[in-house]
Amino acid sequence: MSIRTRTRVLLMLTTLLLLPFALYWLADAWLESSGGRQLLEQELSARLGMRVRLGGEFDLMLLPDIGVSGTDLVIGREAGAEVSSFFANSREFEVSVALRPLFNRQVIIDWIRLTGGRVYPDRYAPSGNDQGSSLTQLPEIRELVLRDFEFVLDQENEVVLRLKELQVSDFAEGRRAALFIEVEDLVTLDGWLFWDLGQSRIEFGDLQVDLAGQQLSGNVCLLLQHPRSLDLDFSAGVFDLDALRKNLPEMGEGGGDLPFDIRARLSVEELSSSGVIARGVVLNLGQDPDCGPSPDLAVSARD
């Protein structure tokens, strides 16, 4: 190999080695400017339908994908509003973004992961709608993950669900998205969700549920137009009420109003309690669950 050829090969190898560092420096310089943070806030606000503010650290992330990570993400609090008025917050966040659009001052989000925070469902008010009467139209996203979150259902009586993990994959309005939820010491479930913008509802289907050791299957829908309601329709083969009461955690005292009406039905082949066994039992809480007509999943679902 001639000296000239060797020099060209070494120059090419050096360029290839330095290219990732150059790209990192360019992307980091852009993100460190106020424009990077503001554009990401705007994109997240559009995705979530409510104002998003990133108030803490803000750093470039290379692994597992190109993106940003940081602290102190707040959703739903307008400028000048009380701190306690936010819909949700997160102690830490990671957002994967496409690299090439960054150099055109564009942010295209691939996935979002939030860790450690609180959600107040009764404060849900997309697009400035104080009544929270409708869903917002959300773009597609490959993955949304929440870990170690608290869902505050009743502040006065301290009714809190502690979410260990929520994962939604391949989400788009108008089609099914894979869903996994684990609530600490209470329930795990696998299934799908359907974001129904036209009916202002979120539907959860083909759910396989472990409720404090009891196995259930069924469907759930959350209607967000007034009057709000949570409808649950489940079935089980064998259901042990004594074991359920023993394993359910304490969730606080009092009977404060939840931010929605609950209509639930449980159909059980064999129900046992205090040594008594009953077969072919149907238990209702409130009226029969009714989510209205189902969407045309044959067209919208991804198989």
122 φψ region: left (φ > 0), alpha (ψ -120 to 50), beta (else): alpha
Contact status, residue 270 vs residue 279, Cβ threshold 8 Å: yes
Alpha-carbon radius of gyration of the chain = 24
Q: pLDDT tens digits for the chain (303 residues)?
A: 566 665 655 666 665 555 555 555 555 565 555 467 787 888 788 777 788 888 888 777 666 677 788 899 998 865 455 556 788 999 999 988 766 665 666 667 788 899 999 998 878 776 544 444 455 666 678 889 999 999 887 777 667 889 999 999 988 877 899 999 999 888 999 999 998 777 778 899 999 999 888 899 999 998 877 777 889 999 999 999 888 888 766 555 444 556 678 899 999 999 998 889 999 999 998 888 887 666 554 333 334
- For residues 119 and 150, the answer to whether their CB atoms sit within 8 Å is yes
Cα→Cα distances 113→69, 100, 157, Å: 9, 21, 30
Tokens of 294: 């189902």
- Helical packing angle, 3-32 and 34-48, nearest 10°: 70
pTM for this model (two decimals): 0.74
Q: Domain spans of the chain?
A: 3-221
Q: Is the separation of the CB atoms in 126 and 193 below 8 Å?
A: no
The residues, ordered by sequence, that sit 6+ positions from 294 with a Cβ below 8 Å of its Cβ are: 203
Q: Rounded to whole angstroms, what are the CA distances from 53 to 107, 112, 146, 208, 211? A: 16, 15, 17, 36, 36
Q: Please give the Cα distance from 18 to 205 (Å, whole number).
A: 49
